[in-house]
Structure 1
Amino acid sequence: MTNPTVYDVVVVGAGIIGASCAHHLAQQGHKVAVLEAKAGAAEGSTGLSFASVRAQWADGLNTELSWRSIRFYRDFQDRHGIDIGYQPNGYLFLVPEANWERQLHAVELQRAHGVPVEVLDVDRAQKITPFDPAGIGGATWGTADGQIDPHSATNAFLALARGKGADVFFKAPVDAIDKAGELWTVSAGDRAVTARHVINAAGGWAGEVAGLAGLDVPVVHSRRNVYATAEGALDSYVPMTVDLATGVYMRSEGRRLLFAGAKPTEVDGYNTAIDWPWMEELLALAADRFPWLVELPLDRRACWAGTYENTPDHDGIVGADPREPQWINACGFSGHGLIQAPEIGRLVTEQVTTGAITSIDLSELSLTRFQTGAIENSVSLVF
């Protein structure tokens, strides 16, 4: 059935990026529709993420986008009366000796953006998370970093959007996109939504959605496995801890410990089957740094796999398509969409409302960087 309403904006995807866009757009008075293929919100990458947030980056743009977003999460309950599970329980990077000077430069940059980050020697870092210090030059500790509840945050954004008149449609996988004059028609089965702007927030499916409109957006799925110990396996609390030498990361979740790490040989494509052989390899990789980890009992029932939505340079794509200025991409965040969703929603709204994003220089996230070859791969703290 065709919806006779002409919307200002149709958002494709109800993960946290799409939900944030819907909220910010509706707050500015835009008539918004959201189309989501799955039966509920945050059922893709968002809900299967590690749920950690940080403002520690090696480049200025990602630092600024992340820090603005963390402050938004921090203040969310005071502003809107909804608890989204923000917990500033810290984020610890264990940095190899060879990378220590570069990490110190990153800390200077982060502090210049107002990010609260501490430089720790090995002894202080070991008091936070126990580890073998061999080859570690030092550690950095983000005191405002931590975690949020991705389901609560996504549903909160959508509830606020609905409160301002947005329509949200689940079980609505987009299967056709057409344009006539200044209006887009986005079809999902027997539902057709007409709008002046399209926001492509389809996560790992963003490339396929763009293809329906004859556009090219280089985003692919990349599986990430999350493994869990048995409940109560570890007495002490472990904040988010990343060993940059091996790429192993971990944090407590209730009375369990979660741990993960990107598999170097992972093949692109949507896959949420748990890779059990990689768990054994990951434990072997972690054994020298965290010998206590390999002694903990595991619970296979508490493990899961989700996907990152990766671009070739592991940076997001934000802004109007150069061929179709009323088509706006907000996708490809390569594991940091949850971190940056509030600010991305604000910037997408700026694009729709004013026709351009001028409050911050987002040229590094422009789609044209792939077409011109101007890829700098500055995001060195993605894992």
Structure 2
Amino acid sequence: MATDAVASGTAPLPRSAAVVIVGGGVIGASIAFHLAEAGVTDVVLVERDTPASGSSGKPIGGVRAQFSDPLNIRLGQRSLEAWRAFAERPGADVGLRDVGYLFLLADDEQLETFREGVEVQNGLGVPSRIVSPREAHALCPYLDPGSIVAAAWCPSDGYALPGAAVGGYLRAARALGATVRTHCAVTGVDASGGEVRAVRTTAGTVRTGTVICAAGAWSREIGAMAGLDLPVTPLRRQIALTGPLSPPPPRVPFTLDYGSTLYFHGDGAGGLVLGLSDPDERPGFAREYSEEWLDLFRAAAARRAPALAGVPVRGGWAGLYEMTPDRNALIGEAPGSGRFLYATGFSGHGFLQAPAVGEVVRDLYLGRTPFLDVGPLAADRFDGPASSGVRPEAHII
């Protein structure tokens, strides 16, 4: 991230602000930009570490609209439009690559699940389709076409650079009057008479009537300070990096094996990014990189993409997913809390949905009607037996 995005990180905190955003990842940065662009210049964003140091810090983030639920599809669509226009608004190169997404399907049950999803996606204008094993192999030569029955393909999806996106949003937000303060952890939220009064931090106290929680894996603690339960659980996820390969890999889609959660795609520099959602990973804040999970990746690769089973690895990265019970985000405003809004719990989908979420939270704050009703994503959907109406996402990559 460019240093000018955080140049004011040690500046004194303002004594007061219209809005305090907690969290300097891509969600908080998007919200700060959208608010400042709308004329809310009295915005303060506080980050406990450095921007993009939490869930947003991964080297490459997937962007897609291939979801099973209309709400998530529309968040993905809206965000894809914004990612494509990011160079003009807010103004930064996020390295967007429209390589597409390819989900590998091993049996008829998986195929039927994705056929239903493609039907919903097509109805909303997403150009996804089911392709044969031969077509999937043409798209991704690493694939053993005999190991699958079909694949789901969407050419308009791809990946981009989260760090560059966070930097672009924060530079633009600061240019529009927002304050960004790093190394500034929140220690309390003061409220009285049902109204938010101030946010206490390690760098001082800011008087405010509105707090927006975009603290990712740390959101439950922030919510508790305001008397709100945000059911977010941290879970380590890891990726491995091959570094430049010789010969360089072909251009391949963001390829995912639905059953095993194995995935791989190019790194934009002549290598590959490899990943898998380790089923043995236990919740917690551990962010140390280890290679035990690579045995699972190599076993899955031997079945789906044999050439990758022994590909050399030259390092990796570990970060935190912010998981909710149904693997859908928490977006909304706490009732009776005196303006405590939240956008968190994205369960691996935060980067790809960030532009749309920034727009939605801006409108919630300003009292406008957002382009999409996010009522089903309210945090209180888990309080009773009634379903929120949002389909749980089976895949968390």
Structure 2 length normalisation: TM-score? 0.91
Residue aligned with 2:304, SS: coil
Distance in 2 separating the partners of 1:3 and 1:240: 42
Corresponding position of 1:96 = 106
Deviation, 1:323, is 4.0
Corresponding position of 1:45 = 55
Distance in 1 separating the partners of 2:120 and 2:212: 32
Distance in 2 separating the partners of 1:19 and 1:139: 35
Pair 1:156 & 2:172 matched: no
Do 2:359 and 2:370's aligned partners in 1 also have CA atoms closer than 8 Å?
A: no
Do 1:222 and 1:309's aligned partners in 2 also have CA atoms closer than 8 Å?
A: yes
Residue aligned with 2:67, SS: coil
Corresponding position of 1:87 = 97
Cα shift readout 1:307-327 (whole Å, capped 9, x = no counterpart)? 101111111000001341500
Cα shift readout 1:328-349 (whole Å, capped 9, x = no counterpart)? 0100000000010011111111
Do 1:201 and 1:331's aligned partners in 2 also have CA atoms closer than 8 Å?
A: yes
Letter in 1 for 2:136: A
Distance in 2 separating the partners of 1:318 and 1:79: 23
Residue 194 (structure 1) aligned to one of 198, 207, 219? 207
Corresponding position of 1:361 = 373
Distance in 1 separating the partners of 2:31 and 2:385: 28
Corresponding position of 1:259 = 274
Corresponding position of 1:72 = 82
Pair 1:338 & 2:348 matched: no
Cα shift readout 1:110-141 (whole Å, capped 9, x = no counterpart)? 11211122331111110111312345221122
Structure 1 residues 104 and 308, CA gap change in structure 2 (3 angstroms)? same
Residue aligned with 1:6, SS: coil
Deviation, 1:72, is 0.7
Structure 1 residues 325 and 139, CA gap change in structure 2 (3 angstroms)? farther
Residue 242 (structure 1) aligned to one of 256, 263, 266? 256
Distance in 2 separating the partners of 1:230 and 1:220: 31
Q: Mean Cα displacement is larger for which, 51-60 or 189-198?
A: 189-198
Pair 1:283 & 2:274 matched: no
Residue aligned with 2:138, SS: helix
Letter in 2 for 1:85: G
Deviation, 1:229, is 1.9
Q: Which runs of 5+ in 1 are unaligned?
A: none
Distance in 2 separating the partners of 1:90 and 1:377: 23
Deviation, 1:5, is 4.0
Corresponding position of 1:34 = 45
Do 2:139 and 2:252's aligned partners in 1 also have CA atoms closer than 8 Å?
A: yes
- RMSD of aligned C-alpha atoms? 1.9
Residue aligned with 1:114, SS: coil
Cα shift readout 1:123-162 (whole Å, capped 9, x = no counterpart)? 1110111312345221122111111111111111111111
Corresponding position of 1:309 = 322
Pair 1:109 & 2:93 matched: no
Residue aligned with 1:186, SS: strand
Distance in 2 separating the partners of 1:208 and 1:48: 23
Distance in 2 separating the partners of 1:264 and 1:299: 23
Deviation, 1:180, is 3.7
Distance in 2 separating the partners of 1:228 and 1:271: 20
Distance in 2 separating the partners of 1:82 and 1:132: 38
Deviation, 1:107, is 0.9
Q: Mean Cα displacement is larger for which, 373-382 or 329-338?
A: 373-382
Q: Mean Cα displacement is larger for which, 97-106 or 63-72?
A: 97-106
Corresponding position of 1:274 = 289
Distance in 1 separating the partners of 2:383 and 2:300: 37
Distance in 1 separating the partners of 2:91 and 2:22: 27
Structure 1 residues 361 and 252, CA gap change in structure 2 (3 angstroms)? same
Pair 1:123 & 2:134 matched: yes
Corresponding position of 1:15 = 25
Pair 1:206 & 2:219 matched: yes
Corresponding position of 1:167 = 179
Deviation, 1:2, is 8.2
Q: Which runs of 5+ in 2 are unaligned?
A: 1-10
Do 1:9 and 1:197's aligned partners in 2 also have CA atoms closer than 8 Å?
A: yes
Distance in 2 separating the partners of 1:3 and 1:58: 43
Letter in 2 for 1:83: D
Residue 234 (structure 2) aligned to one of 216, 221, 224? 221
Structure 1 residues 79 and 49, CA gap change in structure 2 (3 angstroms)? closer
Residue aligned with 1:84, SS: coil
Do 1:36 and 1:169's aligned partners in 2 also have CA atoms closer than 8 Å?
A: yes
Corresponding position of 1:373 = 385
Q: Mean Cα displacement is larger for which, 249-258 or 332-341?
A: 249-258
Structure 1 residues 192 and 59, CA gap change in structure 2 (3 angstroms)? same
Deviation, 1:16, is 0.2
Letter in 2 for 1:137: V
Cα shift readout 1:229-282 (whole Å, capped 9, x = no counterpart)? 242155323321001121100011121111111111211011111232211222
Q: Mean Cα displacement is larger for which, 267-276 or 331-340?
A: 267-276
Corresponding position of 2:159 = 147
Corresponding position of 1:297 = 312
Distance in 2 separating the partners of 1:276 and 1:23: 37
Letter in 1 for 2:377: L
Equivalent pairs: percent with the same residue?
35
Distance in 2 separating the partners of 1:261 and 1:274: 13
